[in-house]
Amino acid sequence: MSPDSIKRIGILTGGGDCPGLNAVIRAVAKTAMLQFRMEVFGIEDGFQGLIENRVRPLSFRDVSGILTRGGTILGSNNRCNPRKYCTALLPDGTPVFSDVTPTCIKTIRDHQLDAIIVIGGDGTMCCAAPLVEAGINVIGIPKTIDNDLFGTEITFGFLTAVATATEALDRLHSTADSHHRVMVCEVMGRNAGWIALTAGVASGSDMILIPEIPFDEDAINQNIRQRMEGGPGFAIVVVAEGARPAHGAPVVARIDPTSPDPIRLGGIGQRVADAIASRTNAEVRTTVLGHVLRGGMPIAADRILATNFGYHAISILMEGASGRLVVRENNVFSDVDLLVSAGRQRLVPPNHSLIIAARAVGTSFGDRLSHTRGAADTSSVV
């Protein structure tokens, strides 16, 4: 389809909500309306809206005044994959799945949408893949607090989550110091340790446990004993929800069989705290930040990123792009094949320059290394 014939677009927000979703919706819709006189439609609750034909026109007013608002005015859903959609539950609770991609395509055609802007993480891009394969023009925008989408050095929502986690860790510092305690704080991030690493460094946490560096319980206890007995007498330990011991698995909080990514992690913070309490003399407390990291206003950096991503999505669409994901690489906005990024995670390289810097200032990663060997990975994290 020639760019000149793109007159009506739909916007969909999928996966877990995060700060900056409304800022992206605003940027996409305003660019489309003001620069290209397009009609813009909002698809409600992610792919659920395509399946249930819940699509509504968005006016300029609808997308004004939402830059700073948390959540998404369109609603979202992280339990809905059109290719594997739960249509019924058997009496024993087993889900029955169907491929409802044709229903989604029918909704898009019925509303005469010439392109869909899909805002989401790797799960959402996987859900968008069959639409791309069916010839629907999809442009993806990378969203997730986890910052783990393959192909981009940053996703919007991440920096706000890091700012929230950093403030929480700063606050835990007071109690750690005043009560001479070990304060363990678990943060989200799925299989990636980006939030724990960056918030841990920003708050000066003493120990950072991430999935990419499996931890050694003896090394943790030795480090805590040193801090409690020969050091400042308190410690802050930040634990990514996907962190795991060298010879163990991540802790699964629950399994949601109807979700595209059925595993929900959680509980490792308490396990680490219990292990420290039982093997040292330290008094230990645990805080789980959970969904607090997904809520509230986006910080300025995320509003700027969201505006750039939204503008770039419409720009490349009008340059003739199709089936592309907008990305930022080396601080430059560009785009990659959406099908290549879909379902692939970008984890923290254990030789990342921020890990090297953190080790240099005495931060422990729950292992026995005090410095990282080999060349550094210098990919940007802010």
Minimum distance from residue 139 beta carbon to ligand F6P (Å): 21
**Which residue has the CB atom at the shortest distance from ligand F6P?**
188
Q: Is 144 in the site for ligand F6P (CB under 6 A)?
A: yes
Q: Is 265 in the site for ligand F6P (CB under 6 A)?
A: yes
Rounded Cα–Cα distance for residues 59 and 29 (Å)? 9
Q: Which stretch binds ligand F6P (CB under 6 A): 182-190, 301-309, 315-323, 330-338?
A: 182-190
Rounded Cα–Cα distance for residues 159 and 123 (Å)? 20
Q: Is 299 left (phi over 0), alpha (psi -120 to 50) or beta?
A: beta
DSSP annotation of 186 reads E
Among positions 294, 303, 312, 346, the unique one binding ligand F6P when judged by CB under 6 A: 294
Q: Is 154 in the site for ligand F6P (CB under 6 A)?
A: no
Q: Is 238 in the site for ligand F6P (CB under 6 A)?
A: no
Six-digit token pair at 272? 């680490």
Among positions 29, 113, 159, 188, the unique one binding ligand F6P when judged by CB under 6 A: 188
DSSP annotation of 245 reads B
First to last CA, the chain: 36
User: Going by DSSP bridges, is the β-strand pair 138-142/182-187 parallel, antiparallel, or unpaired?
Assistant: unpaired
Among positions 77, 78, 307, 364, the unique one binding ligand F6P when judged by CB under 6 A: 78
**Binding-site string for ligand F6P from residue 31 to residue 70, where x marks contact by CB under 6 A and - marks none:** ----------------------------------------
Q: Which stretch binds ligand F6P (CB under 6 A): 144-152, 168-176, 215-223, 280-288?
A: 144-152
Q: Which is nearer to ligand F6P, 31 or 78 (CB)?
A: 78
Among positions 8, 264, 285, 359, the unique one binding ligand F6P when judged by CB under 6 A: 264
Six-digit token pair at 365? 């990663």
Q: Which residue among 17, 122, 146, 335 is the active-site one?
A: 146
Asked whether the beta carbons of 72 and 17 are under 8 A apart, the reply is yes
Dihedral of the alpha carbons of 5, 116, 63, 325, in degrees to the nearest 10: -110
Neighbouring C-beta atoms of residue 150, cutoff 10 Å: 18
Residue 146 among the catalytic residues: yes
Q: Which stretch binds ligand F6P (CB under 6 A): 48-56, 184-192, 216-224, 310-318?
A: 184-192
Rounded Cα–Cα distance for residues 128 and 46 (Å)? 10
Amino acid identity, position 21? L
Q: Is 189 in the site for ligand F6P (CB under 6 A)?
A: yes
Six-digit token pair at 75? 């609603």
Q: Is 68 left (phi over 0), alpha (psi -120 to 50) or beta?
A: alpha
Residues of this chain that interact with ligand F6P (CB under 6 A) are: 16, 78, 121, 144-146, 188-190, 241, 264-265, 294
Catalytic residues: 146
